[in-house]
Amino acid sequence: MDTRSLSRHIRTAACILAFLFLLVMAAGCLQDSLKSAATGSPPPIPVADAGLLKAQYSPGEIASLCAAAEQDTNASLNAIAAIPPSRRSFDTTLLTFDRVISDYSDTVAPLVLMGSVQPDAAIAAEGMACRNSDGIFHSTVYSRRDLYDAMKGQVPRTPEESRLYIMTIRDFEHNGLNLSDDRLDRVRAMKANLTGLEVRYMANLNNDNTTLAFTADELDGLSAERLSSLGRTSQGMYIVTMDGPDISEVLTKANRSETRKKVYATMLNVQAAPNTALLEEAIVLRYRIAQELGYRTWADYQLDGRMAKNTSTVMAFLDSLKEPLKEKSRMELSRLLAIKKSLDPGATTVDPWDVAFLQDKQTSLLYAYNTDELREYFPADNVLQGVFSIYGSLFGIRFDEVTNVSAWSPEVRAWRVGNRADNATVGYLYLDLYSRPGKSQGYFETTLRTGRVLNKTRTTPVVAIVGNWDAPVGDKPALMDMYGIETLFHETGHAMHDLLSQAPYGTLSGTRVERDFVETPSQTLEEWAWDPQVLESLSGHYTNSSQKIPKELLDRVIASRNAGAGLSYSGTLADSVEDMRFHTAEGPVNTTAIYYDTFTEYRGIPPLAGTHQPAQFDHLMDGYDAGYYGYLWSKVYALNIVDEFKTDGMTNRTTGMRFRNAILEKGNMEDGLVLLENFLGHKPGVNALYSHIGINVTKEA
């Protein structure tokens, strides 16, 4: 749930109300639905910290709590398995199992999160260890024959119970319950080993502290303000970390090719030796597990039960995009080469470390603006409040900041989300937005407490968004570019999926859907970042919030969106194919060699020799193995949904509430394709993606 800057303080309630009034008056062209969102309900009122979650831990406490959670859960699961067959019922088996597993997840999820966000390295290590044991625990539970036997054959009484039965039994059978006991034991042991490899890989990245030192001349092109935000060595050189904001700034702005190349090479060699070995060992182990379970490859195993269903469907989908995207990328590269030649007449090729830099130059040349100019109109607080206002309008909700929130780091903030109609609490949202040492790179949303029905009452979900946006610098607030704005929409889209879920069961709630459907709501909602009316509504110059982005600049920003679409989508396609090549292999693989071949084949330029991208391809060790294609697959569905919104306007509440009711609230209570067809009124087609990218192809999926 991927790859973006928020300031530390939201205005007081009175200032927010004044800003929203000015926003609506200045924007003018926003639809009535968005105006209603800003003015049709009371202003946000800070709410006291209700002790949402425990967020501060003493040394040894996470390890103790994690072990206790497993012990208590095992006792409850043993009780289910011990029920005599004559006394088993749907309530005492399936429903109890869902409650017990959901209780366990709610207990462990905050502990696991600490492994990615906790500033204290020792406590973070406990969080990563809990993540390891959690993965092993889940694998063990879903391969227990006694639990499977206790639940298999129970008779559901309602359609909802039928869905729970089907999905629960499928999960057990997918984990090898059709195997003999000795083969099942082998699978269980291999999966435990696999979890350990994945956790070690991720911990290596989280704990990496690689930096580079440059002189001011070597960083020519970076603004004085940006330079002032960098650390300094004892000799006065500037320190560039391998955190996202530093990497992005150098690759986009540094005028010296050698500086960009050095950062690019270092970025793609972080943890190269240990993580390459861990990934390659994991790939072989996955293949062995798949073979033991009766599948040809790991990809065949993973895709069983997903929307795509099999590897041939996925590869046909990816192959259908190859030539159209290659042609578009070729044209884009020729334009970038022309720009490079204007700077360096002897240039003959565009190198990978040139792309972001030349695209930034292209934006200045063709669209007459630069990203620094654009960011001035998008202070992060304005953007955040605007996103809340838009989601409030679409889905009938409101966001009230929690005061004095107890969290794992001082800059973390939290909001109570409530229904506008009756102000009933929907859930809570944590935001942990700034890069810091020891924190996971990238951007993700995670569930910390699941929304479900418990004792005839709906529980209050709690979610967190963790990111690495630029922090404020001195007195200047955090400012966002289009990537940051789009990513905020994306991750809050995941949050909406979890917070608004009305699924009665924790194991089927929110984002617990097919892996190749889970990105659909988030990729749908990220399109709001590019709607002219919405983008204008988010703007307000950081020196004067009533000064909206000028229309001519807004038009140029929107027009520039697809200037690099071919290269961007080709990159996602290359990563998707790389993933599938790893996981359709029937034996050991050389991940670096496959990366080199796939990079050249799909991106149209050679990779930098000596780099090891698979060592940082963290999605493949964090749940997206044989599943990275899902970003492109889900994008097709997302753009079909967006087309439906465009009929009546992107801020139309009627369509927004249909989307909430038909998709966001459903969780995994029906297959994703059923939810899509119910919302759209027809089957989704791939032409929406081609049209979005600007490719003239007539082909339906």
In a 3-state reduction of DSSP, which class is residue 432?
A: strand
Exactly one of 218, 249, 491, 665 is catalytic; name it.
491
Q: What six digits make up the tokens of 137?
A: 């625990």
Of 611, 610, 619, 633, the closest CA to residue 575 belongs to 619
Cα separation, 427 vs 461, whole angstroms: 5
| CB 470 within 8 Å of CB 245 | yes
Of 102, 106, 109, the closest CA to residue 141 belongs to 102
| CB 669 within 8 Å of CB 164 | no
Question: What residues have CB less than 8 Å from 318, skipping those under 6 apart?
Answer: 573, 576, 577, 580, 629, 632
Question: What residues have CB less than 8 Å from 298, skipping those under 6 apart?
Answer: 283, 286, 287, 289, 290, 583, 584, 625, 626
Strand partners, 430: 414, 464
Number of neighbouring beta carbons within 10 Å of residue 152: 15
CA 191 to chain centre: 24
What letter represents residue 360's amino acid? D
Examine the residue annotation and report whether 126 is marked as an active-site residue of this protein.
no
| Cα→Cα distances 106→178, 439, 450, 467, 637, Å | 30, 22, 6, 22, 30
| Cα→Cα distances 259→213, 262, 265, Å | 10, 5, 10
CA 429 to chain centre: 15
- Please give the full DSSP string across 256-294, using - where no structure is assigned: -HHHHHHHHHHHTTTTHHHHHHHHHHHHHHHHHHHHHTT
Question: What residues have CB less than 8 Å from 475, skipping those under 6 apart?
Answer: none
Number of neighbouring beta carbons within 10 Å of residue 368: 12
What positions carry a catalytic annotation?
Answer: 491
